[in-house]
């Protein structure tokens, strides 16, 4: 197993290298440059040239790339033009925000999605199945940013149950309950679509398992129906549910961008959008490489978890 | 086999009871959350003003930043040698109490205010002034590396800064340059503490120290910048105890925060949201500023090379409908290239081109340009661009109604600048553009002179050229008498309006909303946010 994990980690290196090349090229090729973005109305060719020199952007591209790469390998991601602080500080701080938000949404969608899927499958075409299917389809069909805005309007502006935006209050202690009041709406809005997807796919995975012989055997030898569903069937179905959860983890991470913008959540997605609009090259590059590394790592973790669950997957 | 062991044991424990338990725990957490939600919405303390800003600031170093968003904080932490008189764009004394300009307009001698100290306790004096300008302008200055200083060219006419005595400082310019004083009133001219720059170096932008009514207290990235009252302020201590600037980039979220009481003052209210604030609980402020929104016309080639076609476009666009319907009354119709906010330099005899489609049609017929095909560059957003897509679409419809055939090409803002700034030749016939400046000289000098064509390093992307306009603008720049400058600018505006190198569309009115707890607030034509007289109950 250790050898398998090591092999997977080593195979991630060329992937990450490719990502650095691609993100660097994209930022170099898109029109508009940081100097123009900073100078705005005053971006005369003369001013732009001087500022590019001051920012170190007048060197040949290949040279810029290798300076960036060698600094990054040594842990120096550079300084953001637009925020005037080290890229790594900003990325880590923002990633923490995204982890809290996406992590909560992921837990919500995993627990509620799987439970709803199992209940649906166990009562196929019954009342519970129809009710759950209806709610799930409704959830899948609402864009998360729209749901977020409606929640703000209703729960924050009209009822004033929750704060509108941000992760922490301006004044007061930073305790867990305070965080939860800020987290409740964005995490819910983010989890809704993913919960629907998990519920649908858990349902079909369960139905497939429930048709198999060993379930009939279990029932025949008198296992309680509850035990059949939650112990025998769900365990077998988890093998196909886990990869779905892995995909949903990626989905909540990327879906977090909209939610972060709507709820002004200090996360990495909103940071990247702002950075791209401001042509904050180093922040975009550093942020993308960091997020990509996390994705790669997460995928490895999902594969490992799957091979632990299903011995047929060769390690 | 041992591998399979782990999940099996896990699974044995995943009973329905456990799942139900987890669900109950979640439900409990949510209801707990809602139970204490009342606390989370607690009103902000009295004496502390929470301002909803549009973005996270870059730095609090006035020499290093360029965004209005950052200026809103800076103007409350620092002073310049001069400042704009309340409600105008005319300069008055600030850290300098008086000044003299030499006969030839190249020497400015300032007498400095006595007894002023920076927030870090060091004295403000002539040496400090010299340090500030040399740091920006002199590449050999030991603290020049705390930049870059993108707007240092505002002072590129400064040859040397001399300390005459402790409270007298003399600037020598390489040529007469009339906008010098208003550039000193711009945030780039704000005076920072040399001791703080020496102490923090490149980190000064996060540890600022000035002489202003508020001193820097705390910066929590992506959450808030907090500034506190400076009780020793030379112009009288402010009423507020503290101001908190919160970055809220999404305009809808900013509106929701204002409605929910999370902020006390909100800037840049989206036009469509203004109706939300029409109750006694809020006050809406409006102030026309030095902004102009226009269409650059390609005067070098194509249909707009003919002045009659350019005038036809000015008659064809229904500017009243644009400002009242598309912009919901958040702008006024522009008459010429200079915004009325520059009251002293504005030619108020000019009236805007009226909306007259018949006149436009007959001008087009006269020029033989009926059915002319136009390529129109539209931006998706950008500083001062208001609602560019909706405006571009409305303009397209107006132009097509009089017989043009308009094709829109839309670009993201930085891409758009990359297309427009190098000139429209061979690419487009017209492009949207907007400018906000601090002196009536800036925009026409950079965008209407023959020597400001793109290849010469200017912003005259439509290649307008009129020797008389060039002459007037050159003369206005070296005249030090304000009355004389005003006359030159007024003549220039009349000529440019007639020549119609642009379609003059709108002058934006900046807006803000405060809650009814806020008193004494006023917007400035400079678009700066000055908070030293504001009270919060």
Mutation choice for A interface testing from B9, B23, B34, B37 by most A CBs within 10 A: B37
Which residues in chain A touch residue B413, judged by CB atoms under 8 angstroms apart? 32, 277
* CATH of B78-198 given 3.40.190.10, 3.90.76.10, 1.20.1440.230, 3.30.70.920: 3.90.76.10
The partner residue sitting opposite A164, judged by closest CB among B56, B224, B256, is B256
Of B52, B83, B84, nearest to B210 by C-alpha is B83
Average pLDDT over residues B339-361: 94
Mutation choice for B interface testing from A1, A89, A95, A181 by most B CBs within 10 A: A181
Q: How far apart are the first and last CA of chain A?
A: 7
**With pLDDT > 70 as the criterion, what percentage of chain B qualifies?**
92
Minimal CA separation from A243 to chain B, in Å: 15
Contact B7 A178 (CB under 8 A): no
Nearest residue on chain B to A233, judged by CA atoms?
B11
Domain layout of chain B by residue ranges: 1-77+212-264+517-537, 78-198, 291-508
User: Predicted confidence band at B43 (pLDDT cuts at 50, 70, 90)?
Assistant: low
Examine the pLDDT at B240 and tell me if it is beyond 50: yes
Contact B45 A171 (CB under 8 A): yes
CATH superfamily of the B291-508 domain: Dipeptide-binding Protein; Domain 3 (3.10.105.10)
Restricting to B residues 403-422, those with a Cβ less than 8 Å away from any Cβ of A are: 412-415, 417-419, 421
Contact B7 A309 (CB under 8 A): yes
- What is the residue-averaged pLDDT of chain A? 87
B96 — phi, psi (to 5°)? Answer: -95, 135
Nearest residue on chain A to B204, judged by CA atoms?
A84
In this prediction, residue B109 carries a pLDDT of 96
In this prediction, residue B481 carries a pLDDT of 85
In this prediction, residue B2 carries a pLDDT of 36
DSSP character at residue B123: B
Which residues in chain A touch residue B148, judged by CB atoms under 8 angstroms apart? 51, 54-55
- Residue A71's CB is within 10 A of a number of other CB atoms, namely 13
Minimal CA separation from B167 to chain A, in Å: 33
Contact A83 B58 (CB under 8 A): yes
> Can you say whether the dihedral through the CA atoms of B75, B79, B80, B81 is positive or negative?
positive
Minimal CA separation from B418 to chain A, in Å: 6
CA angle at A40 for the pair A34 and A41, rounded to the nearest 5°: 150
User: Predicted confidence band at B3 (pLDDT cuts at 50, 70, 90)?
Assistant: very low
CB B246 within 8 A of CB B50: yes
User: Predicted confidence band at B24 (pLDDT cuts at 50, 70, 90)?
Assistant: low
Contact B248 A165 (CB under 8 A): yes
Mutation choice for A interface testing from B11, B21, B33 by most A CBs within 10 A: B33
Contact A181 B36 (CB under 8 A): yes
Contact B16 A42 (CB under 8 A): no
State pLDDT tens for residues A51-105. Answer: 888 787 888 888 889 989 998 888 888 888 888 888 999 999 999 999 999 999 9
Contact B249 A264 (CB under 8 A): yes
Minimal CA separation from B168 to chain A, in Å: 32
Contact A171 B418 (CB under 8 A): no
Q: How many CB pairs under 8 A join A and B?
A: 192
Cα separation, B101 vs A31, in Å, equals 45
Record the pTM. 0.83
Residue environment code for B205-231, b if the CB has 16+ CB neighbours within 10 A, otherwise e: bbbbbbbbbbbbeebebbbbbbbbbbe
Mutation choice for B interface testing from A33, A39, A40 by most B CBs within 10 A: A40
Contact B415 A238 (CB under 8 A): no
Q: Which residues of chain A have pLDDT under 70?
A: 313-315
CATH number for the region B1-77+212-264+517-537 comes to 3.40.190.10
Q: Which of helix, strand or coil describes residue B87?
A: coil
State pLDDT tens for residues B79-131. Answer: 999 999 998 888 999 999 999 999 888 999 999 999 999 999 999 999 999 99
Examine the pLDDT at B25 and tell me if it is beyond 70: no
Please, which residues have CB within 8 angstroms of residue B84's CB and are 6 or more apart in sequence? B90, B91, B92, B182, B185, B524, B525, B526, B528
Which residues in chain A touch residue B383, judged by CB atoms under 8 angstroms apart? 40-41
Cα separation, B455 vs B460, in Å, equals 9
State pLDDT tens for residues B369-424. Answer: 988 999 999 999 887 898 999 999 999 999 999 999 999 999 988 889 888 988 99
Helix (H) or strand (E) holding A156: none
ipTM > 0.85?
no
- B201 at A interface, C-beta within 8 A: no
CB B172 within 8 A of CB B106: yes
Please, which residues have CB within 8 angstroms of residue A173's CB and are 6 or more apart in sequence? none
A80 — phi, psi (to 5°)? Answer: -70, 135
The partner residue sitting opposite A266, judged by closest CB among B26, B34, B223, is B223
Examine the pLDDT at B40 and tell me if it is beyond 50: no
- B502 DSSP β-pair partners: B296
The partner residue sitting opposite A32, judged by closest CB among B222, B262, B417, is B417
Q: Determine which of A177-181, B4-8, B271-275 has the lowest per-residue pLDDT on average.
A: B4-8
- What is the residue-averaged pLDDT of chain B? 89
Mutation choice for A interface testing from B47, B67, B147, B150 by most A CBs within 10 A: B150
């Amino acid at each position: 197993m250790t050898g398998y994990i090591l092999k997977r980690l080593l195979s991630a290196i060329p992937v990450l290298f490719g990502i650095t090349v691609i993100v660097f090229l994209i930022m170099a090729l898109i029109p508009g440059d940081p100097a123009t973005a900073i100078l705005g109305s005053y971006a005369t060719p003369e001013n732009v040239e001087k500022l590019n020199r001051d920012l170190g952007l007048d060197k040949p591209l290949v040279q810029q790339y290798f300076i960036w790469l060698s600094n990054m390998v040594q842990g120096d991601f550079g300084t953001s033009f637009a925020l005037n602080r080290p890229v790594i500080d900003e990325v880590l701080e923002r990633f923490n925000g995204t982890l809290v938000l996406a992590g909560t949404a992921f837990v919500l969608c995993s627990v509620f999605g799987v439970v709803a899927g199992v209940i649906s499958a166990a009562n196929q075409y019954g009342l519970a199945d129809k009710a759950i299917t209806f709610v799930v389809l409704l959830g899948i069909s609402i864009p998360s940013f729209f749901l977020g805005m409606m929640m703000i309007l209703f729960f924050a502006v009209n009822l004033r149950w929750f704060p509108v935006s941000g992760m922490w209050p301006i004044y007061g202690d930073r305790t867990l309950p305070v965080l939860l009041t800020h987290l409740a709406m964005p995490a819910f809005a983010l989890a809704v679509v993913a919960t629907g997807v998990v519920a649908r796919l858990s349902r079909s995975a369960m139905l497939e398992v429930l048709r198999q012989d060993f379930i009939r055997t279990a029932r025949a030898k008198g296992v309680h129906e509850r035990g059949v569903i939650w112990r025998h069937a769900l365990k077998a179905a988890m093998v196909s549910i886990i990869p779905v959860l892995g995909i949903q983890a990626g989905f909540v991470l990327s879906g977090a961008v909209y939610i972060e913008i709507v709820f002004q959540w200090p996360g990495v997605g909103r940071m990247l959008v702002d950075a791209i609009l401001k042509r904050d090259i180093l922040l975009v590059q550093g942020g993308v490489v960091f997020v990509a590394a996390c994705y790669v790592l997460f995928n490895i973790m999902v594969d490992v978890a799957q091979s632990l669950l299903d011995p047929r997957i060769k390690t | 086999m041992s591998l399979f062991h782990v999940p099996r044991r896990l699974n044995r424990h995943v009973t329905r009871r456990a799942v139900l338990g987890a669900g109950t725990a979640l439900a409990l957490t949510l209801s707990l959350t809602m139970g204490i939600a009342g606390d989370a919405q607690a009103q902000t303390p009295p004496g502390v003003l929470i301002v909803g800003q549009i973005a996270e600031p870059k730095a609090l170093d006035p020499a290093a930043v360029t965004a209005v968003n950052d200026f809103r904080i800076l103007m409350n932490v620092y002073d310049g040698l001069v400042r704009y008189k309340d409600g105008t764009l005319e300069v008055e004394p600030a850290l300098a109490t008086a000044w003299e300009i030499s006969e030839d307009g190249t020497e400015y001698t300032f007498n400095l205010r006595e007894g002023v100290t920076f927030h870090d306790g060091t004295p403000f004096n002539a040496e400090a002034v010299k340090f500030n300008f040399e740091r920006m302008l002199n590449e050999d200055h030991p603290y020049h590396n705390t930049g870059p200083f993108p707007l240092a060219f505002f002072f590129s006419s400064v040859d040397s800064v001399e300390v005459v005595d402790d409270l007298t400082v003399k600037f020598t310019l390489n040529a007469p340059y009339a906008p010098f004083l208003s550039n000193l009133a711009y945030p780039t001219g704000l005076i920072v503490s040399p001791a703080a720059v020496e102490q923090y170096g490149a980190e000064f932008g996060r540890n600022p120290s000035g002489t202003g009514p508020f001193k820097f207290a705390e910066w929590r990235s992506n959450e808030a910048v907090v500034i506190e009252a400076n009780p020793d302020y030379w112009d009288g201590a402010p009423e507020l105890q503290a101001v908190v600037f919160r970055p809220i980039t999404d305009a809808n979220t900013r509106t929701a925060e204002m409605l929910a009481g999370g902020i006390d003052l909100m800037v840049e209210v989206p036009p469509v949201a203004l109706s939300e604030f029409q109750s006694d609980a809020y006050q809406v402020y409006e102030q026309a500023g030095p902004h102009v929104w226009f269409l650059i016309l390609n005067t070098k080639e194509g249909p707009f090379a003919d002045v009659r076609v350019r005038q036809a476009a000015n008659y064809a666009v229904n500017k009243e409908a644009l400002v009242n319907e598309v912009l919901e009354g958040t702008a006024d119709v522009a008459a010429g290239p200079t915004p009325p906010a520059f009251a002293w330099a504005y030619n108020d005899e000019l009236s805007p081109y009226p909306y007259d489609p018949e006149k436009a049609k007959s001008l087009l017929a006269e020029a033989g340009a009926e059915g002319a095909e136009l390529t129109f560059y539209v931006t998706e957003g950008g500083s001062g661009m208001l609602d560019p897509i909706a405006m571009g679409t409305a303009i397209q419809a107006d132009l097509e109604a009089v017989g043009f055939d308009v094709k829109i090409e839309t670009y993201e803002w930085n891409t758009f600048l990359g297309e427009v700034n190098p000139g429209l030749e061979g690419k487009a016939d017209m492009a949207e553009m907007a400018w906000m400046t601090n002196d009536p000289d800036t925009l026409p000098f950079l965008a209407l002179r023959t020597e400001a064509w793109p290849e010469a390093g200017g912003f005259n992307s439509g290649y307008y050229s009129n020797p008389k306009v060039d002459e007037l603008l050159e003369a206005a720049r070296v005249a030090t008498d304000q009355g004389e400058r005003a006359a030159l600018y007024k003549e220039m505006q009349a000529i440019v309006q007639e020549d119609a190198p642009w379609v003059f569309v709108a002058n934006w009115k900046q807006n803000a909303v405060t809650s009814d707890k806020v008193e004494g607030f006023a917007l400035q034509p400079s678009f700066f946010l000055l908070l030293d007289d504001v009270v919060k109950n």
